[in-house]
Amino acid sequence: MGFGVRLEIAIEVAHGLAYLHGNQDQPILHGRLRSSNILLSNSMRAMVSDYGFPPVAGVGVDSLSSNIILLSYCDPEFLFTFRLTEKSDVYSFGVVLVELLSGRPPLMGDPDCFDYVTTEWAKAMFDQGRASVVLDPHIPRIPATMFVTEKVLALAVLCLNREGKNRPTMSCCAEALEHISEEYTLLLFGPNDRNR
């Protein structure tokens, strides 16, 4: 899956969550956002599914690995307060953004390795000015892609802030990704071919 397609998926998911959060009387919280709850059509259009249910961890040995993966999408504040907010979905969206950029699952390899928790590894690479390391190796390293990778990762890092009050809203995420997509198109095709 190319970089442009991944960017469009991120935009569509952000718009979907912003729509759910947009009800002024009673925002709808997803509560369980993860990559397996993002459905793709044949034309690679993204749809968010399985929303409106509280995150529930199953019990028993058979569900241990799936519970650990589910926790990797979970807002750290929720783990202390057991209270879901719109910013809980923003945190989960940050995890999905890192997955889209890196092509890696939330947990990878040996638990004793530095890069076991993909989001922590990605944040460390961003802090070191090495955003390009996070990009999926299957995506060609062209200047346009490298330029916007840092911008997408910067947004993901904001979404992954440990404090919900410091995370953007989903509407802001959607707007930022739209702007990044416009920049990407402009860098790829120039100002005369923006409608490609």
Question: Is the residue at 194 inside a domain?
Answer: no
- Element (DSSP H or E) covering residue 39: strand 38-40
Question: Is the residue at 76 inside a domain?
Answer: yes
Number of domains in the chain: 1
* Alpha helices per DSSP H over the chain: 3-21, 64-72, 76-81, 86-102, 118-127, 131-134, 143-159, 170-189
**CATH code (residue 9):** 1.10.510.10
Question: Is the residue at 195 inside a domain?
Answer: no
Q: What is the pTM of this model?
A: 0.86
The residue segments making up the domain with residue 24 are 3-187
Question: Is the residue at 50 inside a domain?
Answer: yes
Can you give the pLDDT of all 196 residues of the chain as single tens digits?
A: 899 999 999 999 999 999 989 876 788 888 888 888 877 778 878 777 776 555 444 444 444 445 566 677 888 888 888 888 899 999 999 999 999 999 998 888 776 676 788 999 999 999 999 999 999 999 999 999 999 999 999 999 999 999 999 999 999 999 999 999 999 999 988 876 555 4
Question: Is the residue at 58 inside a domain?
Answer: yes
Look-up of token digits 């397996």: 36
